[in-house]
A and B are shown apart, each in its own frame.
Chain A
Amino acid sequence: MKKEPFFWVTISCGIVIMAFILLPLIEMMTAPSLAMLKETIKDKDVVRSIWLSIYTAGLAALISFVLGTPLAYLLARSNFTGKRFVEGIIDLPIVIPHPVVGIAILGVAGKNHWIGQIFSELGIRIMGSVTGIVIVLTFVGMPFYINAAKNGFESISPRLEKVSRSLGASMFSTFFRITFPLAWRSMLIGIIMCSARAISEFGAVVIVAYHPMIAPVMIYERFEAYGLKYSQPVAVWLVTICLALFLILRILTLRKPREE
């Protein structure tokens, strides 16, 4: 059968996009020599900043999980006036430019705001601290978790929960015996998306906390101070470690659930 011209258009566009995404990445990954990569990973500052990136992003995902799950469930299960509005607010951090997020958070965390004053009296520092980084990363990552978890809950028939209740299970038992076992995959995907988004954040973090230095800030600093050649090995290590982590999580989620 002769293929239609439209078919060739779709194929060509696909190839252009694949090349557009992969070429720069492959170029970057292959640029530094093995010796250079070895030397970079021996650098204590590099290891410290990559570790900081990973664990602040992980903490952001954990906070999103704890605080976001009940809200995601509520949004999936009930209809109330203003629900669209709440959903819009949750999506706000996705559309706000990153430096603006940093400035906005500093606005409430600074000395001129009562929240900032409470924090400082409690001895919690936001500016230039790990706490500040985690707050910023949670802000930008949370929407991804909530939306993924919400989709997961929505895909479970409410009738399963109703049957469970009628058989004598309380709401808590129902959640842990029925809803959670059926939704955890979506929740895990949400956690991956949330932490991936958090690890990639630069603009907002650089305003709130230049130091301690997360990996993206360090890459930027090395690029500014020493040039492309010195920033590439750090970037390669960050990308490799993150990809490896996400791959492991993905393999866990992709294992076929027995109910499908």
Chain B
Amino acid sequence: MITIENLNISLPGFNLSDINLSIGEKEFFILMGPTGAGKTVLLEAIAGLVPIKSGRILIGEKDITKLPPEKRGVSIVYQDYALFPHLTVLENISYGLHFHRIDKKQAEKRLNRLLEILNLSHLKERLPINLSGGEKQRVALARALIVEPGVLLLDEPLSALDPGLREEVRTALKRLHQSSITTFLMVTHDFAEVLSLAGRAAVMNKGLIEQVGDVKEIFEKPSSPFVADFVGMKNLFKASFSGTYAMVSGLRIEIGRTVDPSSHYLAVRPEDIVISREKFSSSMRNNYSGIVTRIENQGFYYEVEVRVKDVSFKGLITKVALIELSLEEGIPVYVSFKASAVHVF
């Protein structure tokens, strides 16, 4: 268990302010946020690698704020692997064993188990220079876990890998987490990783924690405009609220519930927006007619921007839907979404 209390860090040109975070025992916790949000600094603070200004960090019941990195039982895995280039795979993995009193049999057992789970047995004598990216990252994971740390910190461990390898290492991570006693704390930008690995997560921005909670909650009920935008709620508008509806630049949007009148924003996920040529007859409370202003290919999906009065809605549709609806820029369409798809904050 990691408890961070009122942590402040000030580095040249960068501050982490008042971080409070509590991560449960054996949890898989993910830190998200844009570049420069301070995620890596927070990880390195937990590992004892950057000086902290004030606050406390506890692992379990133990205050580790003043302990040097080697006494914390916190391992770290970096995006660029940081393997020791002059040591073989085997020497890299067993490096940490030199500094822990573990009897030989026990050490060998751990080593063999990690070699097997991470499928590294055939690479033992290789040097890091002769490994692929995925192999390097698996070695880095084994090296970090062989000392059975209380906490494993992962700094974007998968983002330097090719998409195919990424899935392979992700699966390995999941298996390692399920079979170990270690708390995992990982930084990532990738929503697929967040959704498949994490139980809980936090979103950071500019040195502050914006939201902490279950992954589902963060994606479905973002607590601030920043988080909403970050998790992909592209339709984010400033609004005024009264009763069960909101006004966005003169457009009346039904929310189907009364909300805190101090709210200022509403958001709708692009996946929740239905675009049609005919007026959509369903239970959807919000129906508007507008003009397609932009169609953008995003690989598997197309993002369609529809202008309704002064408001631009973005919806996601498949290629098949695009062809069936014969959408082009400049043609009139209908935009619909449920009142329950509207998020307010």
Contacts and interface: CB of A to CB of B under 8 A. Distances in A.
A169 B78 contact: no
A258 B47 contact: no
B129 A259 contact: yes
Contact of A167 (B12, B49, B99): B99
Contacts of B78: 159, 163
A88 B109 CA distance: 54
Contact of A165 (B70, B86, B128): B70
B89 interface: no
Interface residues of A, number: 22
B10 to A, nearest CB: 14
B85 interface: yes
A169 B85 contact: no
B100 A258 contact: no
Contact of B70 (A170, A178, A258): A170
A259 B127 contact: yes
Contact of A168 (B12, B47, B147): B147
Interface in A117-170: 157, 159-160, 162-170
Contact of B85 (A166, A177, A182): A182
A165 B75 CA distance: 9
Contacts of B44: 162
Nearest to B128: A259
B74 interface: yes
A73 B80 CA distance: 23
A43 interface: no
Interface in A159-196: 159-160, 162-170, 173, 177-178, 181-182
Given A165-B70, A166-B74, A167-B96, A258 B127 contact: yes
Contact of B76 (A166, A168, A257, A260): A166
Among A160, A166, A259, A260, the one with the most B-chain Cβ atoms within 10 Å of its Cβ is A166
B345 interface: no
Contacts of B99: 167-170, 173
Contact of B144 (A167, A170, A178): A167
A170 B82 CA distance: 18
Contacts of A157: 80, 82
A164 B95 contact: yes
Contacts of B144: 163, 166-167
B232 interface: no
Contacts of A258: 86, 127
B98 interface: yes
Contact of B72 (A166, A170, A173): A166
A181 B87 CA distance: 10
Contacts of B75: 166-167
A145 to B, nearest CB: 22
A182 B86 contact: yes
B314 interface: no
Residue among A79, A168, A173, A257 having the largest count of chain B Cβ atoms under 10 Å: A168
B128 A167 contact: no
Given A168-B70, A170-B70, A259 B86 contact: yes
Contact of A159 (B48, B74, B82, B86): B82
B143 interface: yes
Given A169-B99, A173-B99, A163 B82 contact: yes
B82 A168 contact: no
Nearest to A181: B86
Contacts of A177: 95, 98
Contact of A257 (B68, B72, B84, B86): B86
A181 B86 CA distance: 8
A159 B12 CA distance: 19
A258 B85 CA distance: 9
Contacts of A170: 68, 70, 99
Contact of B47 (A79, A166, A181, A259): A166
B69 interface: yes
Contacts of B85: 182, 259
A109 B273 CA distance: 86
A144 to B, nearest CB: 25
A247 to B, nearest CB: 25
B82 A167 contact: no
Interface of A: 79, 157, 159-160, 162-170, 173, 177-178, 181-182, 257-260
Which 9 A/B pairs are nearest by Cβ-Cβ distance? A168-B99, A167-B96, A259-B85, A165-B69, A159-B82, A259-B86, A166-B76, A168-B70, A163-B82
13 contacts: A162-B44, A164-B95, A166-B75, A166-B76, A166-B144, A167-B95, A168-B99, A168-B100, A170-B99, A177-B98, A182-B85, A258-B127, A259-B128
Given A159-B82, A169-B95, A259-B86, 12 more contacts: A157-B80, A160-B82, A163-B78, A163-B143, A166-B48, A166-B74, A167-B99, A168-B99, A169-B98, A177-B95, A178-B84, A257-B86
